[in-house]
Amino acid sequence: MKMFGTKSAIYSQGRVLAIDPGNEQSAWLKFNCDSKKIVDFGYDDNASLRSKMGSTYWNQDIDHLAIEMIASYGMAVGKTVFDTCVWIGRFIEVANRPFTQVYRKDVKMHLCNSMRAKDAHIRQALIDKFGPQGKKSDPGPTFGISGDVWAALGVALTYAETVYKR
């Protein structure tokens, strides 16, 4: 993980915006690191998310940005990977606050203790940690989370438990 910003800024507040970026759409999750509570989450096209992040109202309860970073494993990559890298930079720029780049391998090792972990394993580790999703009549803490938002929750929790550590 790479942290940017002053050390005091990184460790001072516990409200993080975690993003699992994509080349066209990105999953995001607002997380309180002190209470380990999910505040809000969603999945938006990148331009809309960038616009939200630039809004003072939407951004007022965020102290830190944790964003999943692309890592090279020696494989050839295509245009979509480079487009995702561009969006990572744009999100960091508009956030205008300290940020941490969280690598997928760090999420896998933190939550599953294995580099071989797949998305399903990470999802199950998060359900084990937060409790069952529940149903509409009796929602659990992760009720409504699906798809890539699970990856954003993994980024948030990895940041909270390895970097923030209040």
Which of helix, strand or coil describes residue 8? helix
For 34-60, how does the pLDDT look when each residue is reduced to its tens digit (9 = 90+)?
999 999 999 999 999 999 999 988 888
Rounded Cα distance between 153 and 159, Å, is 10
Residue 135 near residue 129, CB atoms below 8 Å? no
pLDDT, position 11: 44
For 122-142, how does the pLDDT look when each residue is reduced to its tens digit (9 = 90+)?
999 999 999 999 999 999 999
Rounded Cα distance between 107 and 116, Å, is 11
Give the tokens for residue 125. Answer: 């580790």
Place of tokens 């409790």: 131
Give the tokens for residue 2. Answer: 């790479």
Domain count, the chain: 1
- DSSP designation for 158: H
For 3-25, how does the pLDDT look when each residue is reduced to its tens digit (9 = 90+)?
555 443 444 468 999 999 999 99
pLDDT, position 74: 78
Helix, strand, coil distribution of the chain in percent, nearest 5: 45, 25, 30
For 72-111, how does the pLDDT look when each residue is reduced to its tens digit (9 = 90+)?
777 888 999 999 999 999 999 999 999 999 999 999 999 9
pLDDT, position 10: 42
Q: Residue 11 belongs to a domain with what CATH number?
A: 3.30.420.10
- 29 lies in which domain range? 2-164
pLDDT, position 73: 76
For 109-120, how does the pLDDT look when each residue is reduced to its tens digit (9 = 90+)?
999 999 999 999
Statement: residue 166 has pLDDT above 80:
no
